[in-house]
Amino acid sequence: LFYNDKFFVTQLYDWNGDEFRELSYVSDVSDRTKTDIYKFIENSEKTVFIVDCENSDPYALCAAIQHLDADRLEKIEKIILYDDVHAASAWEMLSSYIDIPVEYIMIERLKDNKSLADIKVAARTCQEFYQNGVDSFVLVSSDSDYWGLIEELPEVKFLVMIQHIKSGYALKEALLSNDILFCYIDDFYTGDGNEIKTDAMKRECARFFKDALDLNLNQALDEVLTRTRIDMNGEEKRAFIKRY
């Protein structure tokens, strides 16, 4: 009971007629999982992260990377983010919170109800492998469609980072059956991702208020002058706006 924080706090809440839901705050991936990730990177020539932002979580991924040993991640060439208008807005902020180079790509949709992330990720993975000599990929997505990509590139080494709530049984069974290493990004201690969460909320609040209060000051002053029956020339208007 006292050896396992997750078990202890879950039981404590249960004994008091409540349920503890924020399990990620009292848990972290096992040392074995971290060792497997480090070995995967060390045994590669070139490693690249490719992230399907629509099917992953920026806060969990940020926390996971921050919680790994930075010295062991030095062989990672870059993180390629394929973002979508319907994904969390915090993805474009990720580069400010990690020490790995980030290539951020916003995907434009041809149809509003159809994402192009799958084909973009698949094409870029092939390009990095065949043109740039990248032999190992950390694929961050819970979308089972990418199993087709993994299956068609047997000579490439993959490590797949998924989420509990978004990944289905079929994907996990396929990965296990074919000895493809995978882990859950939401098993990492997520307290390390609080800073990016706060900053993302502050930025979106600023955007919201800017859009809601987007005023044309010249137009507003013209309306005020009309109502007050006061005449001002252009220079006087500019001076009034600058001062007040």
Mean pLDDT confidence for 126-135: 96
The mean predicted confidence, pLDDT, of the chain is: 89
212 vs 74 pLDDT, higher one? 74
pLDDT digits (tens, 9 = 90+) for 142-188: 999 999 999 999 999 999 999 988 888 899 999 999 999 999 998 88
Residue 186 token pair: 């939401």
pLDDT digits (tens, 9 = 90+) for 190-206: 666 678 888 999 988 88
Whether the per-residue pLDDT at 124 is higher than 80: the answer is yes
pLDDT, residue 23, reads 67
DSSP string, 136-195: EEEEE---GGGHHHHHH-TTSEEEEEE-TTT--HHHHHHHHHTT-EEEEGGGS-GGGGHH
Cα torsion 180, 185, 186, 187: sign: positive
pLDDT, residue 208, reads 87
Residues 67 and 189 sit within 8 Å (Cβ to Cβ)? yes
